[in-house]
């Protein structure tokens, strides 16, 4: 028997200031009239914001409060620009106001500027709308210091940009504007430039709605630099980017919602929604030598894109964390996958994402170069990965994680993989997979499938993994084996087990653990967690909900840590995967939390008490040496369907495990 039962009551837990500012005229003199007119401040987002697991806080862009517009804006106020292309003029009109707008956004635009844009903005220079910001890191003082703000008046009166908007310079915030296509021009955004040196740093785009024309194969948002004009310190937060490219196209348009490519570093892409484009989000360029590094992609949602949800090429130190990726579209030229990577990604971390309802979950393609390029796949929830018939690309089996090639180990640690056709696969090219502490359940074809002839099985290891019984493992020789057969054949699979993981409600996509799951306390702390902390100074020893690990005597396996909320017992030996024989001396061991009573150890057969093994054992000892089958009265019980139950004398806290 391989079920653990504990009869406990369970609950799960997860883990304003007003800034004053002044107004100065062009000479730097304070204007008391203007200050009085605009003394009120708007409070923006109140409270704390917590970054996704493993992603550092950018320190700017998320909680910053934009300056309040003047309350009585009936005169020109230095530093405050009111822009309306349709009704405005720049003649003898430096700043504008509601009754007398400017026509254009000044270019360049100085520190301490608040630019409120009204109506539709179409003005271009050389084919694009350029915003060259000269902001500073100092506190915002109108017309003197601080960031440049480009804003709409409010959500009901959003500015609309209809051209390519190119942003560069430093300390620019673009807040709550729309981008649309009009008269054959496809509206889109870009920070930096690949063609001309337009360096950019400390740029923020947030709360914007960016929509393509649904036809043209153009990317919605580019972040791109040059060796003589790098882009760094960018925050892209809570935007919607969609409808780029023709979803009926029969050729590869590659129109992505967003690409971070070439000479860019320290880029945060957080809590955006991307959808309905002919390619997915990509970090990294198509060629080496133009490095993209330290890109943080967290808590975004992406769906209904061709080829991939998120992908990387030629990157270093990129972290994808807590994203929700689903319903990616398979095409003849590229298989659908929620996350894809190829071409030598170095220190690529795929952490705590929700990956579901797609042909493939995580998939790697061809690699390049001889330098070791490790990839880390940790704590993800991957489910409902299947192909109906044959996909346009020609696949017939959906893979939860498919690793093909690679010049370094691929670490697959602490994931939950459920309801796939194949949970983990190597289809082509030799690879090294280090697999530990994963839950693999309900695979319709195979749990592990390594194609013959590449040597992946020889190079790979698997430990502390819970399979649905029987496991279906094909380790590179074309033969499918259960767990015992696999262990006997390859001398691998230490501490692996077969059985039901006992998820709370997998039918409703709840893969947290019930109190009696055999995954509890069955794991280990892998070295990758300390490596991450050594590299980035952040601790990711948590589960997908951010709950610290371990909560019991050992780590739980899979993406979720079970959290006991009262007195609890958990049997650690037997673990349901052993064969104990009459007369052997074996150790029964347990973890007890909040239990001070002595314990009763009983032997059950067919879930009925067959006798008492020990009637009073100190709970703090954590173990009891048992002659297998022997009861306290000296008699023996043998047979099948046997369990050991440990409980307090009143039965209020107990646990059981099959032997």
Res. 18: pLDDT tops 90: no
Res 328: pLDDT: 97
Least confident of 114-128, 342-356, 382-396, 641-655: 641-655
Percent of the chain with pLDDT over 90: 76
Res. 566: pLDDT tops 80: no
Q: What mean pLDDT is predicted for residues 211-228?
A: 95
Percent of the chain with pLDDT over 70: 90
Most confident of 4-8, 225-229, 312-316, 347-351: 347-351
Res 576: pLDDT: 66
79 neighbors 109 (Cβ within 8 angstroms):
no
Q: What mean pLDDT is predicted for residues 530-534?
A: 97
Over residues 254-303, the pLDDT tens digits come to: 999 999 999 999 999 999 999 999 999 999 976 666 689 999 999 999 99
Question: pLDDT class for 13, splitting at 50, 70, 90?
Answer: very low
Res 513: pLDDT: 96
Topology of the domain covering 568-659: Immunoglobulin-like (2.60.40)
Q: What mean pLDDT is predicted for residues 385-390?
A: 91
495 neighbors 485 (Cβ within 8 angstroms):
no
Question: pLDDT class for 5, splitting at 50, 70, 90?
Answer: very low
Res 47: pLDDT: 52
Over residues 154-181, the pLDDT tens digits come to: 999 999 999 999 999 999 999 999 999 9
Mean of the per-residue pLDDT values for the chain? 89
Res. 306: pLDDT tops 90: yes
CA of 625: how far to CAs of 32, 553, 630, in Å?
85, 19, 11
Res 591: pLDDT: 83
Query: DSSP letter at 359?
Result: S
Cα–Cα distance between 394 and 330 in angstroms, integer?
A: 10
Q: Which of 558, 542, 313 is nearest to 412 (CA)?
A: 558
Cα–Cα distance between 299 and 52 in angstroms, integer?
A: 7
Res 9: pLDDT: 24
Residue 653: exposure state from Cβ atoms within 10 A (0-12, 13-18, ≥19): buried
What residue segments make up the domains of the chain, in order of their start?
568-659
b/e code 53-70 from CB counts within 10 Å (16+ = b): bbbeebebbbebbbbbbb
CA of 67: how far to CAs of 35, 70, 173, 253, 276, in Å?
13, 9, 11, 41, 34
Question: pLDDT class for 639, splitting at 50, 70, 90?
Answer: confident
Res. 7: pLDDT tops 50: no
Residue with tokens 């009936």: 74
Res. 28: pLDDT tops 50: no
Residue 183 neighbours by CB distance under 10 Å: 6
120 neighbors 157 (Cβ within 8 angstroms):
no
Res. 19: pLDDT tops 90: no
Question: pLDDT class for 408, splitting at 50, 70, 90?
Answer: confident
Question: pLDDT class for 571, splitting at 50, 70, 90?
Answer: confident
b/e code 234-257 from CB counts within 10 Å (16+ = b): bbbbbbbbbbbbbbeeeebbbbbb
Pairing of strands 120-121, 4-6: unpaired
Query: DSSP letter at 275?
Result: E
Cα–Cα distance between 111 and 408 in angstroms, integer?
A: 47
Res 370: pLDDT: 54
Res. 596: pLDDT tops 90: no
Structure-token pair, residue 270: 């957080």
Structure-token pair, residue 24: 């100065």
Res 198: pLDDT: 96
Instruction: Please name the residues in contact with 120: beta carbons below 8 A apart, sequence gap of 6 or more.
Output: 85, 86, 159, 160, 161, 162, 182
Res. 153: pLDDT tops 80: yes
599 neighbors 617 (Cβ within 8 angstroms):
yes
Least confident of 56-60, 380-384, 407-411: 407-411
Cα–Cα distance between 82 and 103 in angstroms, integer?
A: 9
Over residues 460-497, the pLDDT tens digits come to: 999 999 999 999 999 999 999 999 999 999 999 999 99
Res. 655: pLDDT tops 60: yes
583 neighbors 16 (Cβ within 8 angstroms):
no
């Amino acid at each position: 028997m391989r079920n653990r039962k504990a009869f406990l009551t369970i609950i799960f837990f997860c883990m304003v200031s007003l800034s004053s500012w002044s107004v100065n005229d062009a000479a730097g003199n304070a204007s008391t009239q203007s200050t009085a007119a605009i003394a009120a401040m708007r409070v923006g987002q109140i409270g704390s914001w917590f970054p996704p697991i493993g992603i550092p806080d950018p320190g700017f862009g998320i909680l910053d409060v934009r300056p309040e517009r003047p309350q009585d804006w009936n005169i020109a106020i230095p530093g405050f620009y009111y822009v309306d292309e349709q009704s405005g003029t720049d003649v003898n009109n430096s700043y504008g106001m509601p009754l007398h707008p400017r026509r254009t956004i000044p270019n360049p635009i100085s520190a301490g500027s608040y630019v409120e844009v009204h109506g539709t903005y179409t003005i271009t220079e050389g084919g694009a709308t350029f915003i060259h910001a000269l902001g500073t890191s100092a506190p915002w003082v109108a017309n003197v210091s601080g960031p440049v703000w480009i804003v709409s008046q409010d959500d009901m009166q959003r500015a609309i940009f209809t051209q390519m908007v190119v942003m560069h310079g430093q300390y620019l915030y673009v807040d709550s504007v729309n981008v649309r296509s009009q008269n054959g021009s496809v509206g889109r955004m870009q920070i930096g430039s690949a063609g001309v040196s337009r360096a950019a740093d400390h740029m923020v785009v947030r709360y914007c709605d960016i929509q393509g024309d649904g036809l043209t194969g153009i990317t919605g948002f580019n972040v791109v630099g040059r060796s003589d004009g790098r882009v760094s310190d960018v925050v892209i937060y809570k935007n919607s980017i969609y409808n780029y490219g023709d979803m009926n196209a029969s050729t590869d348009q590659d129109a992505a919602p967003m690409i971070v490519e070439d000479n860019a570093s320290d880029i945060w892409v957080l809590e955006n929604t991307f959808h309905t484009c002919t390619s997915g989000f990509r970090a990294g360029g198509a060629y080496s030598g133009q490095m993209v590094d330290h890109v943080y992609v967290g808590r975004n949602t992406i769906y209904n894109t061709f080829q991939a949800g998120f992908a990387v090429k030629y990157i270093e130190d990129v972290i994808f964390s807590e994203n929700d990726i689903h319903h990616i579209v398979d095409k003849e030229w590229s298989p659908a996958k929620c996350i894809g990577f190829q071409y030598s990604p170095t220190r690529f971390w795929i952490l705590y994402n929700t990956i579901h309802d797609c042909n493939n979950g995580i998939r790697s393609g061809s690699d390049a170069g001889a330098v070791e390029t490790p990839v880390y796949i940790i704590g993800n929830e991957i489910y409902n990965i299947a192909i109906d018939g044959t996909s346009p690309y020609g696949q017939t089996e959906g893979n939860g994680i498919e690793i093909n090639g690679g010049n370094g180990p691929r670490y697959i640690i602490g994931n939950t993989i459920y309801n796939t056709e194949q949970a983990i696969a190597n289809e082509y090219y030799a690879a090294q997979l280090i697999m530990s502490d994963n839950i693999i359940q309900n695979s319709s074809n195979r749990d592990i499938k390594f194609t013959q002839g590449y040597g992946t099985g020889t190079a790979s290891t698997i430990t502390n993994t819970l399979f649905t019984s029987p496991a279906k493992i094909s380790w590179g020789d074309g033969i499918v084996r259960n767990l015992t057969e696999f262990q006997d054949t390859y001398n691998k699979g230490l501490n692996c087990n077969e059985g039901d993981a006992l998820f709370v409600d997998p039918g409703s996509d709840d893969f947290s653990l019930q109190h009696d799951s055999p995954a509890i306390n069955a794991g280990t702390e892998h070295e990758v967690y300390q490596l991450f902390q050594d590299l980035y100074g952040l601790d990711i020893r948590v589960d997908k909900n951010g709950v610290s690990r371990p909560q019991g005597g050992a780590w739980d396996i899979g993406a979720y840590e079970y959290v006991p909320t009262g007195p609890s017992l958990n049997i650690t030996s037997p673990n349901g995967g052993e064969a104990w024989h009459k007369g052997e001396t074996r150790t029964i061991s347990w973890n007890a939390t909040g239990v001070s009573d002595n314990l009763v150890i009983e032997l059950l057969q067919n879930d009925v008490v067959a006798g008492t093994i020990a009637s009073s054992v100190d709970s703090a000892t954590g173990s009891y040496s048992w002659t297998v089958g022997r009861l306290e009265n000296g008699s023996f019980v043998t047979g099948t369907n046997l369990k050991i139950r440990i409980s307090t004398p009143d039965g209020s806290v107990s646990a059981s495990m099959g032997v």
